[in-house]
Structure 1
């Protein structure tokens, strides 16, 4: 290296340094030897690969150099020889030719080079070029690959023998990593793949194929055992070849070791023709054993088989189709046998058990969702869809409904509802309700008709709500069937030869029974606070919408609330009745008795029923009924006015205390005038009231109905005095015995002559006084029937625990004559209504055909009670005779209106 011309001293020093460096050139390290010396020796003398990780040395103390390296001063590390000239005079120092030149350590300051001897501003910046720093090693990667594979092959042989001794997984992992880093990953995987295939084929498939003559379950056990063994072996292999798996297989298109494990076993073992079918059949045989409840079912073995099918990705392609095919054969045979051998309830129960068991197996053994879906569809097809005709036949459903088998009906509907076939029960259900209801309304006697109808309605409502899950079509069928059978009519002795609806009459009488008797009149099977023996427990909702507890027999239920519940239930039946004129006629007659006799249990209940009828039928239906209530109120006001007037009279002596109800003849039922000889004191009181009434209301006429009157009278018997509540006819008869001793007899003829009553009325009255449970009179001779030769005396032995005694009153009992009269009157009214409807239709249409006229008349009179087609034709003929209409000549059954 040339020295600067202006620095001779520095040149001499540089020469001495050069000579010193030339003498110690062997000791002075170069950059190449420096970097090469930093490589650490391989542990335990083993050769080290260029890419292998070196073990970390012990961390030295701060500022303490490592023991194995030499600390070099800066001037020793970077020295420059004078023999190294500047290449081509470009200011580039070549560090590759010999030792670097010796010079003082320089430091660049503000673009100039500052040395120990001073600043040389003429030399300028120098460019350092470093060449050939990489050490040329003699490493053989192929030899290293072979060495590592030898160790891996020996380890694989040990693993395949299910042994783990003498294998250092960490060293093997290091070897695999080094081979992969040197580019030998592809070769390493190829050798591993071939080695595993040979092992699976030779050590697993071949021994399993030798057992091909065994049964399918034994082969399945063998395959599962080898599969479990293969998975355990691959766990160890994956740990050793983990670096190969992550660095080479994962980024490439080759299968990872996790994918390689089931893939190799599937291709070599499972897909073998000798092993595949028996393995699948073995799993299906386990299911068959479970279905037949045999002892051959191994739950754990079947679960392992299903898991293996999932892990090998052969579940959908192999096991599922075979499983469903065998299940279809089993279910088809089972369903055909069950439907023949068992009743419908038994079949339904077994079908539910079968479906539940099959679905539970899918859930417990993790069968695929597709299997669960297809299996359920298969079960429903064979157990329900293909057997719907047998399940919905009338005899089966009728038997369950007759026996009130609610649980069986509910199970049947639930089974059919799986395929939305519940509505197919409509025909059988409607037929059963129709036949059952028809039997009730035409039963003889018909006294308990309404109780049975209400019980039937409650049962069917309960069945529809709980068993049929409020199915809309079945609900329509229930309502339609009630509307049909409740309006069936036939001319019989019960309706006195008319075609009136018996149901309307019986509903009116049942309402009368409720309103007269209150809560005591409610039958036990219909009470809201007890579970009915007919319907079983069901929730009952009060009129306020609150549920009542039926199971608690001691629960306190308000009487008014109980009566309202019963009235609501009766009104449900009333809605189905088309001939409401029959109900109106009997209800009006019974209401008049209750109001006149004061026999209503609750005035609020009476008003509540009237409000219900008005809402249901309109104000025109209840107009007369409302007038009856108004007459009773006006009668009370009139009596108060009469009594006030009597009190104002000077010298008035109070006699008989009478109470008179003035009724509007148009609103109340018509009552016959029965002749009777009224006692003189009562006659005077009646005449006095009539004089008072006519003085206030001129031009009105009063007709006295003594048959509807009742009175209270005091009587003395041998065992004490009593206050008797009797009818007016009974009182007139009892007055004849005033002043007579107990042994004095009055003949039948004498009583009839003195009272002036007709024979029919006197017989009925004497029978109530001498032949009933309470007998203030004694009949001679004793008997239940009254004859003209009988005589009567006062019963000296008459007694009763109460002072005030109600004697059986004939006014409260309907006679056959009254019943017949009501039916005939209703039938006549229906004919008049039919004729009025025909006239209205003809007046609006002028000309109309016969069939169309009949249809219009039925539509117009349906709310009051429809007549038969023959009766309508007879009314048409009557109107033709009265010149309201005429037949058109050549009109082919057409009528024209005559204005």
Structure 2
């Protein structure tokens, strides 16, 4: 066609219709040759010419209308009739085919009418041709068939959920038509398909869950639920829009898990408690995976976990109490309860359930909190008069001293010490543990009972990391003292070698300690035998060469002596305390002594003399003969050296009867607590100046909580005492308000 010739609307559109009809025949599957480039250029040029002719022959507006009518006519005459005859999967296949064809038709026609798109529609601020083509399909076809297509698609999903094989590719194509008709938005997908799909899913799993909860055990139900949730994830991956995943899964989780959570967890013989009792690791892990995905879903699981661990711990407490009661009933000595393995069993319990927390429950803070709260319940029980703080200190002593009940490797000892420190975090009376531990540490160090100084340092490092430097400073000082004492002893040996005239006359080892680091020991004014007095004087002479400013206080109750007992059959070396040695050496000067004479010559209390004489005359080794021959010591008794004594060993240790130091430890701790409460009250009031009673008590409890759980009544008492001592005063108008007095 010549560009100079004016193309009339009817003439031009008749030509265009031939091209459009050819396109329709191709789309309908007729045996029609494809468009060649010349065909395309002729159609494009015709539209170009008809739009660029001068008025009144510029047919841009008319061509725009005809463009739309071409779609309307084809959709109405061909597409809608073909779809209205079909149902179910056949409808879906036809719908996908017609949509695919429509997109091709839109693509080709928008090319033919490209000039119209670029200039006329742009100037008029109208929608692009492609968008108009989609809108026409949406209005004529989609709106009419949306609900029918959605129902057919949901039917296929339902079939797949019931285990049937379906055409997932078809379903994906159908679902994405709902997305594509939205032209970039998800409004049509959400309203036309997703909302119905979510509702149907909810109904489906509601029916299934109500049936499964009756038929299956808790583990089997969870397995089903996990499989279902995984399959829904797969559905999203294969044919649903990704935006549906969170909503879909949340809905499935609600129906399968949230609705039946309580019933599921409390199922008899298979619920959460049963899984914990039977160590069902995989099932518990699955329970965590499932319920961690729903809001507050882990709260009831952690609650059951806490109750179970608490019950297990309480059972161990009862078991330990029963074992101790049985020993009492059998009139046997009741020794430290750790010998029944109480602390060991508590550690094993902690190992077991900490593994659950880190493994099954993925280190979730909720389960760490549940474990902590459970252990705090039974770790603070008093068992047959012994606190857990004391038992833990005794258990540690047993691990660290020579000849402990268990032979452990260095690695095992380190591991156990780590667990002891972890267990300590659950004990409220940490200060009580410190005092018991310090007493036992002192005995290990002073009597050379410690198996390994490195282990001693190691546990102190662990305690320091866990509880702070103030917790361990005195005990670290004790270890330092021992190292300095060895150096001091070497210097003393050198001093004796250089000063032959000041020989003590026997082997002498003195351990010099710093008073502030060590527990307080009774230092009685024992009348030492002459031989020992000389030793004391010699060491004093040496020590004064080192310093003039430090006072030596001799603690004879901690001393040890090796003396030779010359009996008729043989000489036996006796390992005794300084007190025992002093008593025995009296018999070098007298063959027979009364109780009163011994007490006077030793200058000791009744209690000390009774313990000494009991160990030498009534216990295993009868070095002294007592008259009368009874098992108890009386002030009217007489004693003489047993020259007939013999033993198969050439060296024997004669222990003193143990003193129950528990009462003194508790008293010392109570005294220290008073000072700690006073200091805390003053510190708080100094910074706050004015504070109400309740706030002051709360701040004290919080600050002191890392060492012990202060009694509120004790805090009130200390406040009253500080008021009497003019550290604080009550407000004149409000008795519950305190002021700090600088």
**Aligned partners of 1:244, 1:687: CA distance in 2, in Å?**
125
The match for 2:398 among 507, 513, 521 is 513
State yes or no: 1:299 paired with 2:192: no
Q: 2:660 aligned with 1:818, yes or no?
A: yes
CA contact (8 A) 1:141 1:182 kept: no
Q: Distance in 2 between matches of 1:648 and 1:265?
A: 117
**Which residue of 494, 502, 505 maps to 2:385?**
494
Partner of 1:450: 343
Aligned to 2:252: 379
**2-structure distance, mates of 1:234, 1:635:** 97
List per-residue Cα deviations over 1:650-692 (Å, max 9, x = no partner). Answer: 6999975343435678865577899x999xxxx7763541341
Which residue number in structure 2 is paired with residue 333 of structure 1? Answer: 207
Q: Deviations over 1:255-310 (max 9, x none)?
A: 888667766665665555xx6544322211111112121x2422233223224444
How has the CA–CA distance of structure 1 residues 392 and 726 changed in structure 2, closer, same or farther, with 3 Å as cutoff? farther
Could you tell which deviates more after superposition, 389-398 or 569-578?
Answer: 389-398
Match of 1:244 among 109, 112, 128: 112
Q: Determine helix, strand or coil for the equivalent of 1:818.
A: coil
Contact 1:176 1:243 in 2 (8 A): no
CA offsets 1:220-265 (integer angstroms, 9 cap, x no match): 32452465267459858976x6763323466556988866776666
Q: Deviations over 1:603-631 (max 9, x none)?
A: 34434555666787788766765665566
TM-fit CA distance, 1:330? 1.6
Any residues of structure 2 matched to 1:625-774 within 5 Å, and which? 625=475, 628-629=478-479, 632=482, 635-636=485-486, 639-640=489-490, 643-644=493-494, 646-647=496-497, 657-661=507-511, 686-695=532-541, 705=556, 709=560
1:282 is aligned to: 152
| d(CA) in 1 for partners of 2:512, 2:370 | 49
Alpha-carbon deviations, 1:834-854, whole Å to 9, x = none? 99999999xx9xxx9999999
Residues 833-889 of structure 1 show CA distances to partners (whole Å, capped at 9, x for unaligned) of: 799999999xx9xxx9999999999899877766878999999999xxxxxxxxxxx
How do 1:13-32 and structure 2 match up within 5 A?
Answer: none
Going from structure 1 to structure 2, the CA distance change for 1:726 and 1:267 (only over 3 Å counts) comes to same
Deviations 1:340-385, CA, capped at 9 Å, x for gaps: 55555555544443333212211221x3344334324433444455
Out of 405, 416, 429, the position equivalent to 1:579 is 429
**Inter-CA distance 330–661: structure 2 relative to 1 (3 Å threshold):** same
Counterpart residue number, 1:97: none
Question: Residue 358 in 1 paired to residue 232 in 2?
Answer: yes
- Relative to 1, partners in 2 of residues 1:270 and 1:260: Cα closer, same or farther, differing over 3 Å? same
In structure 1, stretches of 5+ residues that fail to align are 1-48, 52-133, 496-501, 525-558, 716-722, 736-752, 771-785, 799-804, 879-891, 894-899
**SS of alignment partner, residue 113 of structure 2:** helix
Tell me the residue number matched to 1:163.
Answer: 30
The residue that corresponds to 1:418 in the other structure is 293
Residue 401 of structure 2 aligns to a residue in which SS? helix
Question: What CA deviation, in whole Å up to 9, does each residue of 1:570-610 have, x standing for no partner?
Answer: 33433443434532442233222212222323334434555
Structure-1 residue corresponding to 2:195: 321
Partner Cα distance (1:201, 1:256) in 2? 22
Structure 1 residues 608 and 248, CA gap change in structure 2 (3 angstroms) = closer
Q: May I ask how many residue pairs the two structures share in their alignment?
A: 646
Contact 1:437 1:485 in 2 (8 A): yes
Distance 1:159 1:333 in 2: 48
Rounded Cα–Cα distance in structure 1 between residues aligned with 2:29 and 2:369 = 74
Compared CA separation, residues 285 and 656, structure 1 to 2 (3 A): same
Quote the offset at 1:166 in angstroms.
Answer: 7.1
Q: Following superposition of structure 1 onto structure 2, how do residues 381-530 of structure 1 map, counting pairs within 5 Å?
A: 381-383=254-256, 386=259, 397-403=272-278, 408-421=283-296, 424-425=299-300, 427-440=303-316, 443-444=320-321, 446-447=337-338, 448-458=341-351, 475=368, 478-479=371-372, 481-483=374-376, 485-486=378-379, 488-490=380-382, 493-495=384-386, 502-516=387-401
> In the superposition, relative to structure 1, how do residues 808 and 390 fare at CA in structure 2: closer, same or farther (>3 Å)?
farther
Contact 1:504–1:577, Cα closer than 8 Å, also in 2:
yes
For the Cα contact (< 8 Å) 2:299–2:366, is it kept in 1? no
Distance 1:168 1:852 in 2: 89
> What is the distance in 2 between the residues matched to 1:566 and 1:245?
84
Using the TM superposition, give the Cα deviation of residue 693 of structure 1 relative to its aligned residue in structure 2, in angstroms: 3.2
1:323 Cα deviation from its structure 2 partner: 1.6
C-alpha distance in 2 between matches for 1:664 and 1:170: 106
Q: Which has the higher helix share?
A: 2
Q: What TM-score, normalized to structure 2?
A: 0.63
Matches within 5 A, 1:128-207: 155=22, 159=26, 162-165=29-32, 173=40, 176=43, 180=47, 183=50, 201=76, 205-206=80-81
Please report the RMSD computed on the Cα atoms of aligned residues, expressed in angstroms.
6.6
Does the CA-based 8 Å contact 2:68-2:133 persist in structure 1?
no
Question: Structure 1 820/374 Cα, relative in aligned 2: closer, same or farther at 3 Å?
Answer: closer
1:311–1:859 distance in 2 versus 1, CA, 3 Å: closer
Deviation of 1:148 (Å)? 8.0
State whether residues 830 and 864 of structure 1, in contact with CA within 8 Å, keep that contact through their aligned partners in structure 2.
no
From the superposition, tell whether residues 514 and 169 of structure 1 become closer, same or farther in structure 2 (CA, over 3 Å). Answer: same
Kindly tell me: are residues 660 and 192 of structure 1, through their superposed partners in 2, closer, same or farther at Cα, counting changes over 3 Å? closer
Paired with 2:483 and 2:10, the residues of 1 have a C-alpha distance of 125
Which whole-Å deviations, capped at 9, do the CAs of 1:478-510 have from their partners, x for residues lacking one? 545545543x344x6433xxxxxx121122223
Q: In structure 1, what is the Cα distance between the partners aligned to 2:351 and 2:76?
A: 75
In 2, Cα distance between the equivalents of 1:852 and 1:271? 68
Gaps (5+ residues) in structure 2? 52-58, 183-187, 325-336, 567-571, 585-597, 603-607, 622-630, 633-643, 722-734, 737-742
Contact 1:588 1:625 in 2 (8 A): yes
Change (3 A) 1:400 1:175: same
CA shift in 2, pair 1:347/1:761, >3 Å: farther
Shift of the 324–270 alpha-carbon distance from structure 1 to 2, 3 Å rule, reads: same
**Superposition pairs of residues 114-133 of structure 1, within 5 angstroms:** none
Distance 1:616 1:147 in 2: 91
Residue 626 of structure 2 is matched in structure 1 by none
SS in structure 1 of the partner of residue 385 of structure 2 = helix
CA contact (8 A) 2:258 2:297 kept: no
C-alpha spacing 1:411/1:792, structure 2 compared with 1 (3 Å): farther
1: distance between equivalents of 2:695 and 2:79? 91
Larger gyration radius, structure 1 or structure 2: 1
The change in CA–CA distance for 1:724 and 1:339 in structure 2 (over 3 A counts) is farther
2:453 corresponds to: 603
